Structure 1
Amino acid sequence: MSNWEDISWKGYLREDGRKGIRNLVLVIYTVECASFVAHGIANNEDDVHVIGFSGCYDNAYAIRMMLALARHPNIGAILSVGLGCEYTQPGKIADVVRESGRPAESFFIQENGGTSKSIAKGKEIVNELKAKIARISQVEMKPADLVVGCECGGSDATSGLAGNPVVGSFFDKLVDAGGTAVFEEIVELIGLKEILLDRAVNDEAKQAVDYAYEKAMRYCQSVQQWSASPGNFAGGLTTIEEKSLGAFAKSGSRSIQGILKVSQTPPGKGLWLLDSVPDDHFMQFGYTNPNDSEGILDLISTGAQIVLFVTGRGSVIGSPVAPLLKITGNPKTYENLIEDMDFNAGQVLEGKETLDSASDDLFQLIIRIAKGELSKPEKLGHKEFFIPYKHQDTPSLQSGCRA
């Protein structure tokens, strides 16, 4: 299908000019001790999502991540809940979010009588917030307003042959329609330095890509771990270069505009590479992507209204804030996990679809999701997330989170 740029639907305009495809209330907990109450407040409602940080000591990376998610275009309002002892203050989060034009409230559990009373109070606040954001008027959205992220996990041989190439073809069409595409997992691009540099749009982008690549190499060497797992080998992959080429296929063929840090919104349209690798001086609290949920949340923190997850062997996760669409290039995986998988790119390998027609089908599905259709993880109630301690050379809170 051509003329993707002409398709339109209704979305939610935020004060920073970005547009959301959902109008959610986000409940944020600022320490693990408040997580039970936060989830009790949300009560697994479709339009109330939860994120939180487990640590008692604050961490700039985690705070920046929470602020970015709290001011995501899909979020209409937030409630920030703390226990009362932790360093990260829920009131300060609410203050910053309120400055973005969104309704925001906060409280401490210790000041509200414990578990049951705090859950009741939180539900009352959430209902008030829902009523406020229900009055937000909808505006026209087009593919040019979309930011779509992608990562892959549980890869097998079909990921590089079908799953990621179909996404890459879609990314080309999205960029050509004026939209924005973000891909990540630079540790899964080891061995492709010259190919990456050739795709950089200019010298500035080339220098940024070079720095991020070399940092990823040093990181993998320092932790003595490369992005290849027993599951990858069982799925037919044999070398890190083979896996890297398959992972890179999801980027399509358009020029890489530059490097994004976690919680930084793209400064322009086009294709961007997200760098989530900790800097050389990072504190040894965790790895760059200890699980798929962190990587997906990294993409959502850039403002992606929709995230694609390519998996050959299968996955049963979802995400808060932005719908997750799970794509597989393996027809057997699609049939085996049909309740969880959104899109069967394996039809390309079976000769039932061409790469071009399959990416058209994927684009149409994404438009339907943007219009309000629920992804399979949304239907099942999946809202997994993970915010770790991490030290990273990220932009300032103002530039990184659009305060």
Structure 2
Amino acid sequence: MSETHFPSPNEPSPMLEGWPRSDGRKGIRNVVAVAYLVECAHHVAREIVAQFREPFDAFNDADGPGEAPVHLIGFPGCYPNGYAEKMMTRLTTHPNVGAVLFVSLGCESMNKHYLVEQVRASGRPVEVLTIQEKGGTRSTIQYGMDWVREARAQLALQKKVPMRLDELVVGTICGGSDGTSGITANPAVGRAFDRLIEAGAACLFEETGELVGCEYHMKSRAARPELGEEIVACVAKAARYYSILGHGSFAVGNADGGLTTQEEKSLGAYAKSGASPIVGIVKPGDIPPTGGLYLLDVVPDGEPRFGFPNISDNAEIAELIACGAHVILFTTGRGSVVGSALSPVIKVCANPLTYRNLAGDMDVDAGRILEGRATLEEVGREVYDVTLEVSRGARSKSESLGHQEFILTYKTFEPVGPACLPASARVAIPVVASH
């Protein structure tokens, strides 16, 4: 990618461009989301999306003319779940989404009428197709194809507007970690986070199950004493959750990659957060009300229940996106190749050997630090620069390869308490009630 000028703290924030949304946010992509509302509708939704799948070298939703890409998301469950409904609401009204087609079987519990109302109120084109009412598989697919074509035509008429860097939300996650992750890619992302936050952006880090042992380090960085106590409680909840499951967030692949203990992995994961003050805690679907650094609590509240999953990378990416993340910084040592629907994923590779083996999937070679070919500060600046380029429309490697991974399962969460949010924004996160 081309070299981007990095501003000094005294220079004005670099400008981006985005698609304006009625809630005041702006999107860096303009996606048509096709969302199935139960597993029984998954095939029909997938077939609709397949008709619009682009070749790997085509990317038409950046600068210039072209049609919006079509992405598949969905919820497989048949029984109601407030978390899943809130997630679906936030995802389908995400600033990167320009239009939404819901695909329903007809007898599932997800409240499709509520979802349609929420999307319509946001000013986006929206439709719901109920397979039981549209004549079955073939006819519903045809209805869906026709609707998506019309939606893309409408989106092609939209124009971008100026977008400030302090309107950007960036998330980070690590996957396939090894012994190099905590000393190259993760701290490089932390440096990029500090620069983004200095420019006013909101940045989200998570994986509380991989932050066990770091809670008092985070407490010392909390913007307010009461927030520090909430951070400690948040990590304690994660430790209990994993204890009940019978294992921590430490996989065989981590050990094969040179990590020796959960504590070592935790310190590496913690490095992604950088050095900025932590200004708040949010839960999946909560939109950060201000700029700054936020901890995303992804571990369910209450006791683990049947159907609640262990934490997985793709589920956490979806949760970051549901919090409004325009782009995801994904660090990997072993070489995860996943991307995501809706928001682009930037891969920061920790291990130089992995990068050389999987260069077609990786955006940034942080392993150069180990080989003395770059400093941590230089790679941190590169991560920052690439984040801006992708936010301006450049395609990340996972986008180019057509990755659109997505997972949404059952969980339960209580709303965050007032101590978790900056005082000026404690009424700023709207509650999405389950229906």
State the TM-score, normalizing by the size of structure 2: 0.89
Once the 2 structures are TM-superposed, how far is the Cα of residue 284 of structure 1 from its aligned partner?
Answer: 2.6
The match for 2:123 is 101
Q: Does 1:254 align with 2:303?
A: no
Q: Which amino acid in structure 2 is aligned with residue 2 of structure 1?
A: P
Label 1:400 to 1:325 Cα distance change in 2 as closer, same or farther (>3 A). Answer: farther
Label 1:322 to 1:109 Cα distance change in 2 as closer, same or farther (>3 A). Answer: same
The match for 1:143 is 165
The match for 1:318 is 339
Label 1:400 to 1:332 Cα distance change in 2 as closer, same or farther (>3 A). Answer: farther
Q: Which amino acid in structure 2 is aligned with residue 285 of structure 1?
A: G
Q: Does 1:7 align with 2:14?
A: yes
Q: Which amino acid in structure 2 is aligned with residue 86 of structure 1?
A: E
The match for 1:343 is 364
Once the 2 structures are TM-superposed, how far is the Cα of residue 401 of structure 1 from its aligned partner?
Answer: 5.5
The match for 1:268 is 290
**Please, which of 275, 278, 286 is the counterpart of residue 300 of structure 2?**
278
> Whole-Å Cα distance in 2 between the matches of residues 229 and 339 of structure 1?
25
2:180 match: secondary structure: helix
**Please, which of 310, 334, 348 is the counterpart of residue 327 of structure 1?**
348
The runs of at least 4 aligned residues of structure 1 exceeding 4 Å deviation read: 400-403
**Please, which of 91, 95, 104 is the counterpart of residue 69 of structure 1?**
91
Once the 2 structures are TM-superposed, how far is the Cα of residue 400 of structure 1 from its aligned partner?
Answer: 4.5
Q: Deviations over 1:2-44 (max 9, x none)?
A: 3475321321111111111001111110011111111111125
More moved, 6-15 vs 149-158 = 6-15
Q: Which amino acid in structure 1 is aligned with residue 226 of structure 2?
A: E
> Whole-Å Cα distance in 2 between the matches of residues 402 and 268 of structure 1?
22
> Whole-Å Cα distance in 2 between the matches of residues 394 and 108 of structure 1?
32
Q: Does 1:115 align with 2:137?
A: yes
1:81 match: secondary structure: strand
The match for 2:23 is 16
**Please, which of 258, 280, 303 is the counterpart of residue 324 of structure 2?**
303
2:176 match: secondary structure: coil
Equivalent residues, number? 401
1:232 match: secondary structure: helix
The match for 1:205 is 227
Label 1:364 to 1:206 Cα distance change in 2 as closer, same or farther (>3 A). Answer: same
Report the identity percentage: 44
Q: Deviations over 1:221-252 (max 9, x none)?
A: 22121111111111111111111111100000
**Please, which of 382, 393, 401 is the counterpart of residue 380 of structure 1?**
401
2:360 match: secondary structure: coil
Q: Deviations over 1:245-304 (max 9, x none)?
A: 111000000011111100110021100000010112453312351x21101111111000
Q: Which amino acid in structure 1 is aligned with residue 317 of structure 2?
A: I
The match for 1:33 is 40
> Whole-Å Cα distance in 2 between the matches of residues 5 and 79 of structure 1?
39
> Whole-Å Cα distance in 1 between the matches of residues 146 and 269 of structure 2?
45
> Whole-Å Cα distance in 2 between the matches of residues 29 and 190 of structure 1?
36
Give the conservation status (yes or no) of the 8 Å contact 2:355–2:365: yes
The match for 1:188 is 210
Q: Deviations over 1:78-102 (max 9, x none)?
A: 0111011211133331111111221
Give the conservation status (yes or no) of the 8 Å contact 1:5–1:142: no
> Whole-Å Cα distance in 2 between the matches of residues 227 and 214 of structure 1?
14
Give the conservation status (yes or no) of the 8 Å contact 2:219–2:228: yes
Q: Deviations over 1:302-325 (max 9, x none)?
A: 000000111100012110010011
> Whole-Å Cα distance in 2 between the matches of residues 217 and 83 of structure 1?
39
Give the conservation status (yes or no) of the 8 Å contact 1:265–1:401: no
> Whole-Å Cα distance in 2 between the matches of residues 400 and 288 of structure 1?
26
More moved, 204-213 vs 151-160 = 204-213
Give the conservation status (yes or no) of the 8 Å contact 1:156–1:313: yes
The match for 2:61 is none
The match for 1:168 is 190
1:28 match: secondary structure: strand
Label 1:401 to 1:75 Cα distance change in 2 as closer, same or farther (>3 A). Answer: farther
Give the conservation status (yes or no) of the 8 Å contact 2:187–2:376: yes
Label 1:393 to 1:402 Cα distance change in 2 as closer, same or farther (>3 A). Answer: closer
Give the conservation status (yes or no) of the 8 Å contact 1:276–1:288: no
Q: Which amino acid in structure 2 is aligned with residue 370 of structure 1?
A: S
> Whole-Å Cα distance in 2 between the matches of residues 125 and 31 of structure 1?
20
> Whole-Å Cα distance in 1 between the matches of residues 34 and 322 of structure 2?
16
Q: Deviations over 1:59-88 (max 9, x none)?
A: 111111111100101001101110112111
Where in structure 1 are there 5+ consecutive unaligned residues?
Answer: none
Give the conservation status (yes or no) of the 8 Å contact 1:28–1:52: yes
The match for 1:45 is 53
> Whole-Å Cα distance in 1 between the matches of residues 248 and 323 of structure 2?
25
Q: Deviations over 1:138-160 (max 9, x none)?
A: 11123211111001011101100
The match for 1:361 is 382
> Whole-Å Cα distance in 1 between the matches of residues 113 and 147 of structure 2?
14
